[in-house]
């Protein structure tokens, strides 16, 4: 897929992630708890299972929890207010990443799109989604933190565990931020 | 946007009244038979087919368009979804649409409840 990101966004994302982490009192190698970030941003988070009181049927809940639906998280808005609904049955690393992704939309002030499940497809704003993916990853695995982790002998599996993300996400960050390249260059010197 | 279900229902009624199969209608109007099977799955016809179908029905486009996406029964007009995060596929499957709509509605109600606190 071609990247939809505008020039300069990646730098902005790293900087934004850094300042949000500062606000939470986190150093570069500290793990970010997405729940705490939600609390900090005052965004309530509920499990899809907890929506029974609000009229969600068992059938619909089960359907969203099924593997086939591939559902991780969604955000609903009313004015400026937002609520995140997540799937509690996916891996904790996935939950954390999905929550960070949804919160990244809040941080980036992405305007909400209307609900439209037309023809079985959702409205897909590719740029906003890519921006949220990028910022979420930067929040969870800051470039500086990843660099420090690897420079001090850490590996991708241990780093992923430490930061509470999947190995795939950690490795992706290594590649995208040029951390691997920087380390190799350093070792050659 | 096109209200595909309403359009399909109107076409089906006329087709039934004239004793035609979908294939007959497609042949008569010179459009692809797959147009109808796709519509049955909720897909919009392309603009040319849409125009042809309206002519055949003798109805204006306004009869089958809605200005905003439907939120489902009891939908809150202020509720909107900003994002959906998936594990892999990036589309909602047709068979999951109703469940997603219901969950979004329930979430909107929860949000209203939280706001009024």
Q: With contacts defined as CB-CB under 8 Å, which chain A residues touch B78?
A: 78-79
Task: Name the residue facing A117 among B87, B88, B100 (closest C-beta).
Answer: B100
B29, B53 contact by CB (below 8 A): yes
The pLDDT-based confidence of B26 (bands split at 50, 70, 90) is confident
Residue A67 pLDDT greater than 50, yes or no:
yes
H-helix or E-strand spanning residue A81? strand A81-86
Q: What average pLDDT does this structure show over B57-81? A: 60
Whether B110 sits inside 8 A of A51 (CB atoms) is yes
Nearest to B106 among A54, A63, A70 (CB): A54
Please state whether beta strands A45-47 and A81-86 pair in parallel, antiparallel, or not at all (unpaired).
parallel
pTM of structure: 0.70
Q: Which residues are paired to A76 by β-bridges?
A: A83, B81
Chain B residues whose beta carbon lies within 8 Å of the beta carbon of residue A73: 84-85
**pLDDT tens-digit profile of A115-150?**
556 544 445 577 888 899 999 999 999 999 999 999
Residues in chain B within 8 Å Cβ distance of A114? 68-69, 80-81
Window from A27-31, B37-41, B57-61, B62-66 with minimum mean pLDDT: B37-41
Dihedral sign, CA of A90, A170, A161, A23? negative
ipTM score assigned to the predicted complex: 0.86
A11-28: b or e for each residue (b if 16 or more CB lie within 10 Å)?
ebbbebbbebbeeeebee
> What pLDDT is recorded for position B71?
39
Kindly report the number of other CB atoms within 10 A of residue A179's CB atom: 21
Percentage above 70 pLDDT, chain B: 74
CB distance A85–B89 less than 8 Å?
no
Cα nearest neighbour of B109 on chain A: A54
Choose between A112 and B101: higher pLDDT. Answer: B101
Higher pLDDT, A42 or A147: A147
pLDDT at A73 over 50: yes
CA dist B92 and B104 (Å) reads 13
The count of CB pairs under 8 A between chains A and B is: 163
| Residues with Cβ within 8 Å of residue A7, at least 6 apart in sequence | none
Average pLDDT on B51-79 reads 67
Strand-strand pairing, A71-78 and A81-86: antiparallel
pLDDT of residue B68: 46
The domains located in chain A, with CATH, are: 33-140 (1.10.10)
Measured between alpha carbons, how far is A69 from B93 in angstroms, rounded to an integer?
7
Over residues A150-177, the mean pLDDT reads 93
> For B1-117, where are the alpha helices, taking DSSP H only?
4-17, 22-29, 34-40, 47-57, 97-116
Contact A63 B104 (CB under 8 A): no
Which of B42, B84, B99 faces A60 most closely, judged by CB atoms?
A: B99
CB contact under 8 A, A70 and B87: yes
Select from B88, B81, B20, B25 the least CA-distant residue to B53.
Answer: B25
At residue B80, the pLDDT reads: 56
Q: Between chains, do B98 and A60 touch, taking CB under 8 Å as contact?
A: yes
On the question of pLDDT at A33 being above 90, the answer is: yes
- Cβ separation of B96 and A98 shorter than 8 Å? no
Residue B103 to residue A64, Cβ atoms within 8 A: yes
Taking CB atoms and an 8 Å cutoff, what residues of chain A touch B102?
Answer: 55-57, 60
More confident residue, B15 or A114: B15
Q: Quote the CA–CA distance of A69 and B23 in Å, as a whole number.
A: 33
> How far is the first Cα of chain A from the last one, in angstroms, to the nearest whole number?
36
Q: Give the pairing type, strands A71-78 and B79-86.
A: antiparallel
> Mean pLDDT across chain A, nearest whole number?
88
User: How high does pLDDT run on average in chain B?
Assistant: 78
Q: Report pLDDT for B77.
A: 40
Whole-number pLDDT of residue B78: 43
Q: Which residues have CB under 8 Å from B1's CB, separation 6+?
A: A116, A118, B44, B65, B66, B69
Residue A60 predicted with pLDDT over 90: yes
Higher pLDDT, A13 or B87: A13
| Helix (H) or strand (E) segment spanning residue A162 | helix A156-163
Look up tokens 């995060």; give the residue: B85
Chain A positions in Cβ-Cβ contact with residue B93 (cut-off 8 Å): 68-69, 120
* Interface membership of B108 toward A (CB under 8 Å): yes
The reply to whether residue A74 touches residue B88, judged by beta carbons under 8 angstroms, is no
Q: What is the pLDDT of residue B42?
A: 67
Inter-chain touch B107–A72, beta carbons under 8 Å:
no
Do A72 and A86 touch, CB atoms closer than 8 A?
yes
* % residues pLDDT > 90 (chain B): 24
> How high is the pLDDT of residue B81?
61
Beta carbons of B112 and A78 less than 8 Å apart: yes
At A115 the pLDDT is 59
Question: Per residue in B71-105, pLDDT tens?
Answer: 333 333 445 565 666 655 556 777 888 888 899 88
Nearest by CB to A77, which of B82, B94, B105?
Answer: B82
């Amino acid at each position: 897929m071609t990247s939809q990101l505008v020039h300069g966004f990646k730098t902005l994302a790293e900087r934004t992630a850094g300042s949000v982490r500062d606000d939470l009192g986190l150093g570069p190698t500290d793990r970010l708890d997405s729940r705490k970030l939600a609390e900090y941003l005052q965004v309530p988070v509920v499990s899809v299972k907890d929506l029974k009181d609000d009229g969600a049927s068992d059938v619909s809940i089960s359907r969203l929890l099924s593997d086939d639906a591939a559902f991780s998280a969604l955000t609903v808005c009313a004015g400026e207010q937002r609520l995140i609904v997540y799937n509690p049955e996916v891996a904790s690393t996935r939950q954390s990443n999905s929550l960070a992704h949804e919160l990244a939309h809040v941080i980036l002030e992405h305007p909400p799109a209307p609900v439209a499940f037309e023809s079985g497809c959702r409205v897909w704003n590719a740029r906003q989604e890519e921006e949220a993916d990028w910022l979420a990853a930067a929040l969870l695995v800051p470039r500086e933190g990843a660099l420090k982790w690897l420079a001090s002998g850490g590996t991708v599996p241990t780093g992923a565990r430490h930061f509470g993300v999947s190995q795939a996400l950690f490795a992706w960050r290594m590649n995208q931020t040029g951390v691997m390249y920087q380390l190799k260059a350093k070792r050659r010197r | 946007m096109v209200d595909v279900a309403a359009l399909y229902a109107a076409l089906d009624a006329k087709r039934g009244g004239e004793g035609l199969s979908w294939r007959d209608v497609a042949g008569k109007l010179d459009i692809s038979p797959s147009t109808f099977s796709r519509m049955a799955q909720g897909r919009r016809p392309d603009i040319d087919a849409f125009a042809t179908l309206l002519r055949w029905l003798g109805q204006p486009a306004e009869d089958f368009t809605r200005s905003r996406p439907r939120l489902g029964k009891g939908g809150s007009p202020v509720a909107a979804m900003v994002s959906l995060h998936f594990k892999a596929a990036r589309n909602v499957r047709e068979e999951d649409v109703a469940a997603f709509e219901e969950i979004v509605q329930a979430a909107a109600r929860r949000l209203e409840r939280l706001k009024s606190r």
